[in-house]
Chains A and B, each alone.
Chain A
Amino acid sequence: MSALLEIDKLSLEFRTRSGIVRALENVSLQLPEGGSLGLVGESGSGKSVLSFAVLGIQDAAATITGGTIRFAGTDLLADGGSAMKTMRGRELAMIFQNPRVALNPIRQVGRQIEDVLLRHTALRGAAARARAIECLADVRIPDPERRYSAYPFELSGGMCQRVMIAIALACKPRLLIADEPTTGLDVTTQAAIMRLIRDLGREKGMATLLITHDLGLARDFCDKLAVMHAGHIVEVGPTETLFRTPAHPYTAQLVRATPVGQERLENLASIPGNLPDLRRGDLPPCRFSERCELRSPACATPLPNLVVSPGHLVGCHHPQARSSP
């Protein structure tokens, strides 16, 4: 079965005044129809850049220098992204962090949903309005008719995120990219929002790409994980496999830094070092090697792409075999 979203060896650079930032290098990912993939990694590892590139909303300074992005068999990068322009918001949709500022502050939330409907569907006038109210009801917003004419500042953060989900799902997309959807929300709301995304995904058979730095969240939510570090995907595999037997030293350290259950703070390990400066001309093939305990001369040679087990891939010369506790 071919994947719904297939990213193959994607490379992306930012041309800035202080040099070229190699933000993504040879990034490959597959997401099957209806599947859920978690893209994890620390801030600055390129998770959001990757998702923006999928939607074609990357910064003007960004250039895709290689690779392909295919969605349901269509090349999204062909013809300057013309295919993407017709699919964006209809087949692929995205929700963002900090929902209160991610909605137009001076437009009624119902109108914002309607804008998307008017753009992508044949609905007009009262029918569009009725559908917008339905969308609000779909994301379990109480009293949707009244909320239709609310402005974002009149709603709580959780409500705003529901509205954003309603905007994203208005045209029943096949893929939802959720970029840190719970950042900026309080903990109880976070759980409700994640449950909503999961339930709606199941109801509508929609694939989800969850971008997060919260491994615990990704573990609860995703069947598969992809770990990003400094613009590389270092490891991909089924969620539980990655948690039990992480093969890449970076994944292993991330797992050790993630609290599980009653873990005490002193038992959590922080990862030494920082992300390397991606403007450097002498970036090593393995961008983690400078922070790595297992570093060896082999790390200066091109990275392998090892298959640890079916569906579990790692880009490392020293994959770890031991299972973490």
Chain B
Amino acid sequence: MLTTILKRLLGAIPNLIGVVVVTFLLTRALPGDPAAFFAGGAGTAEAVEEIRKKLGLDKSLPEQFIVYVRDLARGDWGMSHATGQPVLTELTTRLPASLELTLAALLLAVIIAIPLGILAATRPGSWVDHLCRGIATAGVSLPTFFTGLLLAYIFYFLLGWAPAPLGRLDPYLSAPPLVTGFYLIDSLIARDFPVFVGALKQLILPTITLALFVLAPLARMTRASMLGVLSADFIRTARASGLAPRTVLFSYAFRNALLPVMTTLGMVFSFLLGSNVLVEKVFAWPGIGSFAIEALVASDYAPVQGFVLSMALLYVLLNLSIDIAYGFVDPRMKIEN
């Protein structure tokens, strides 16, 4: 088991090298001159030149790359020129915000999508099946920023049920002492229930927005996979052996249907990290997505590179954990490794 994990981690190294090279080149290929941007509209040519030198942008591309890699190897991800903070600090303080939102959305989507998919598969043609199809269609056809704005408009502006879409916590509340960086968990650890409720209220709308988006692929995959498994020969054997319908449905059918659902789960998780960028913007969520957008607009290289690199790391970890989970669900996977 441990050797498998180690092997997989080693196998991820080429991917990471690729990510480092590509992000470096892509950020350099972006239009706009950071030196001119930071010098401002009134900056003289000498000032721009000086900033360029200070940023190391006067060197040739290979030289810049070597400097970048050398710094990375020392754990230095560079400085954000817009905020004046080291990129690594910015990312580590903002990542929990994004992760809390993403995981909450994923959890909500799974809680709704999987039972819905199972019900739809066991009663094809019923109202549950139609509901499943309806939600799936709505989920894929509504862009997240639109759903987000619509929800904020209805539940905050019109109905006033939700708090203002302004970040993770009401400005009158102070953040709980940092343990995990997840406000919901940290506030519970601190037994600060008003903060827990406050954080939860802020979380609801963006979570629903993101969950709606990933509900569709999850529910559809669960339904399709269950339908396939339910018509398999071994389900007929289980029924012929007189096993209880619950046993047939859960221990036999669902566990077998789980593999494609898990694959989809991994995929939608990465979709979520991507669509976070927009949803964080709509709800003023202080996550790494909104940070990356601001950096991109400012042609601030280091944060953009840092963002892409941390995303790549997340993907690698995510795929690894899904592969490990496969091994638990399906014994055939373990052997192949």
Contacts and interface: CB of A to CB of B under 8 A. Distances in A.
B89 interface: no
A116 B237 CA distance: 11
Interface stretch (B132-140, B217-225, B299-307, B325-333): B325-333
Interface residues on B, range: 20 to 34
A98 B243 CA distance: 20
Contact of B240 (A94, A120, A153): A94
A104 B242 contact: no
B241 A89 contact: yes
A150 to B, nearest CB: 10
Given A85-B242, A116-B241, A151-B331, A104 B236 contact: no
B241 A167 contact: yes
Nearest to A150: B331
Interface in B222-271: 232-234, 236-244, 247, 251-252, 255-256
A93 B247 CA distance: 18
A127 interface: no
A199 interface: no
Contacts of A167: 237, 241
A105 B256 contact: yes
A115 B234 contact: no
Contacts of B247: 115, 119
Contacts of B331: 106, 151, 153
Interface of B: 232-234, 236-244, 247, 251-252, 255-256, 329-332
24 contacts: A55-B240, A57-B236, A86-B242, A87-B242, A88-B241, A89-B241, A89-B243, A90-B242, A93-B241, A96-B240, A103-B237, A105-B234, A105-B256, A106-B256, A115-B238, A115-B241, A115-B243, A116-B241, A116-B243, A119-B242, A151-B332, A153-B332, A164-B237, A168-B241
Query: Which 6 A-B pairs rank lowest in CB-CB distance, beginning with the nearest?
Result: A89-B242, A88-B242, A89-B241, A94-B240, A102-B233, A101-B233
Given A88-B242, A94-B237, 10 more contacts: A55-B239, A57-B236, A88-B239, A89-B242, A94-B240, A104-B237, A105-B330, A106-B256, A106-B330, A115-B247
